[in-house]
Structure 1
Amino acid sequence: MLCIRSNTLNPAFNLATEEFLLNNKTDECFYLYINGPSIIVGKHQNTLAEINVDYVKANNIDVIRRLSGGGAVFHDPGNLNFSFIMNKENNSTEGFKKYTRPILDVLKSLGIDARFEGRNDLTIKGKKFSGNAKCIYNGKILQHGTLLFSSKLPDLSQALKVNPLKFQDKAVKSVRSRVTNISEHLTQPLSLEAFENRIFEHILSLYPDSKTYQLTDNDISAINKLVDEKYGTWDWNFGTSPQYNFQKGIKTKGGFIEINLDVQKGIIQHTKIFGDFFGSRDISELENLLNGTPHEPQQLKEKLKSIQLENYLENVEFDNFVEGLF
């Protein structure tokens, strides 16, 4: 087994590394990494329905889609992530339990009574500190999980806080749980780095054929290519969202506006705008302008700059209307 530690907080790079290891290493792998502030959404989720768009934008939080299913999770430098990339035939029917047991063993050695609960969670005193997800890809299994160690839990709450009335779709929804940090339950102070070391050393001791591995320059080049072509793109992170209907009402200086969008593969297919506003031109012209545009702030702004919004929505500020689209 190749045991690898990341030296970057770049979430796109770290998730691309998982896919690279799946596709390019014949050895089984264990990968530890920490991401900067980011939201990692499940493969089958509607990204916009999982995030607080305004908060994410204001705080420069990255939003990245992963290979595995399950719900959206918030990452920050107080959260440690672990991945097992194993040959499928070596995956026992125990599923999530098998690859979370080493984590529980380390916590037990620290005097923490952590448990596996439900389908894929690890908890302390009934509060969740780890969510886990998996996928089968190219004949291998990827199972990865989060470990809240000293995360900023209010940030987590705000970043994933979204108005459920905005979206109507069949995408997999995240289930919010009461959460806790591991550090709150330690009997003796321990740094995240020391905790990471304990897990890494424990994995090395568990697998007789394990060895520490450093990504080569060729590995890094291939991973960066994956970032450029997939994990760093709008198409992957937002455009692959399932079909959904978006609805939002906003108050403006020009009156109340209700916006309804039908979106497929991230592209607006149909727009309807209602309200008590005034305008000198037919609102259907504005609706048709938005159709065919990615449901993405910058591209919608560029499209709207080609018209005089005042002609359709009198006394409605440009930025106010754009905010109503998310």
Structure 2
Amino acid sequence: MIYIISKSNKPQYNIALEEYCFKKLLNHEKVFMLWINEPTIVVGKHQNTLEEINAEYVRENHINVVRRISGGGAVYHDHNNLNYTIISNEEKGSQFDFKSFSEPVIETLKELGVEASFTGRNDLVIGGQKICGNAQAYINGRIMHHGCILFDTNLGVLSKALEVPKDLIDSKSVKSVRSAVTNILPHLPRKITVEEFSEAILQHMKRKFPDMQEYVFSDEELAEIERVSQDKFSSWEWNYGHSPQFNITLTTRFTAGKIQVFATVKNSVIENIKFYGTFFGNNGDLSPVENALKGVRYTVEDVHSALENINTAEFFAGFSVEELTEAIIR
């Protein structure tokens, strides 16, 4: 068994790193990895990114959004959240399941004086409150299991970043189930840092697997991981463009009137859009505006840019481009 402690806090890099270990280090039957990200929302492979995040809050607070290669729901990471990954060559459906993968965390917490338990399909809890969600990916007899451990995470930011505005989205995608959560730190008899907690888990694993050795990547391997982190996990196409088709209905009231937007978006690109409301305009035929928005990426920047190329005052009297952008995307 080998172990890896990532020295990077960049989520795109860390997710590329674990994918590399999962898909490329095939001669190592078991891999253990610990990593900490800067503020980030990580969405599941099959999720509609825009349905999981508070896009305006995420943008204003410079929170990363990255899609992982495993299923499950969206989670929030920050510098006081610890992530662990276990990769193992196992037969699908074997006894090495979610619960078995979670044992290092449960056992380490017990050593630190905290009773945690496994519940439901894939959660760890303390006193009924979730401290860790888990997800898995499976390829050709190889399982990658990872968990997101809330150690001293800013739960206020977590709640706001994952809070989707109410007006929202009717979608075919897999929606996250929000759970009552808590941090580990308040439950510890002796207060420690997230780095000390990470070290405690590592030492537990070393005692359990005395032959475990740290893996040292070659320069070529590091270059490949960096390339994938940029080309795949930093790309809009991967992080947003894999979202399934969905319908959006938004209603916004401005000084100049109310605008209702009905949009169909596929792979995070506007496929069709219609405007209704109490606004006025010199031109009642809105098709030039609607056609100009078809094929535009469903981002604030791209929608704003498309609207700037139209004389919007002809159709929406008294509305600024910024207001129209807000009416279309939050």
Match of residue 196 from structure 1? 198
**Which stretches of structure 1, 4 residues or more, deviate above 6 A after TM superposition?**
none
Q: 1:101 aligns with which of 86, 103, 106?
A: 103
Specify every segment of 5 or more residues in structure 2 that has no aligned partner in the other structure, as ranges.
none
Q: Out of 306-315 and 74-83, give the one that drifted further.
A: 306-315
3-state SS, counterpart of residue 201 of structure 2: helix
CA 114–242 in structure 1, closer or farther in 2 if over 3 Å, else same: same
Partner residue of 2:305 out of 291, 302, 306: 302
Write the deviation string for residues 170-223 of structure 1: whole angstroms up to 9, x where unpaired.
111111111111001010111111110011122222224420123332222111
Look up the match of 2:118.
116
Residues 280 and 312, structure 1, Cα contact 8 Å, conserved in 2: yes
Is 1:180 equivalent to 2:146 in the alignment? Answer: no
Match in the other structure for 2:323: 320
Residue in 2 that maps onto 1:288: 291
Rounded Cα–Cα distance in structure 2 between residues aligned with 1:259 and 1:147 = 39
Q: How far is 1:262 from its partner?
A: 0.5
Equivalent in 59, 74, 77 of residue 75 of structure 1: 77
Question: What amino acid maps onto 2:12 in structure 1?
Answer: A
Task: Name stretches of at least 5 consecutive residues in structure 1 with no aligned partner.
Answer: none
2:277 maps to what in 1?
Answer: 275
Q: CA deviation at 1:157?
A: 0.5
Query: Structure 1 residues 81 and 126 mapped into 2: Cα distance closer, same or farther (>3 Å)?
Result: same
Spell out the pairing of 1:225-244 with structure 2 (5 A cutoff): 225-244=227-246
SS for the counterpart of 2:232 is: helix
Match runs of 1:204-283 below 5 Å? 204-281=206-283, 282-283=285-286
* Number of the residue aligned with 2:11: 11
Scaled by the length of structure 1, the TM-score of the pair is: 0.96
Distance 2:199 2:96 in 1: 26
**Counterpart in 2 of 1:2?**
2
Residue in 2 that maps onto 1:89: 91
Counterpart CA distance in 2 for 1:214 and 1:311 is 63
Letter in 2 for 1:2: I
Report the TM-score, using the length of structure 2 for normalisation: 0.95
- Secondary structure of residue in 2 paired with 1:239: coil
Give the superposition deviation at 1:164: 4.4
* Equivalent residue pairs, number: 326
Deviation digits for residues 259-295 of structure 1 (CA, Å, limit 9, x no counterpart): 1110111221110111111112321111111111111
Secondary structure of the corresponding residue to residue 316 of structure 1:
coil
The answer on whether the counterparts of 1:40 and 1:63 sit within 8 Å (CA) in structure 2 is yes
Letter in 2 for 1:315: G
Q: Distance in 2 between matches of 1:234 and 1:158?
A: 22
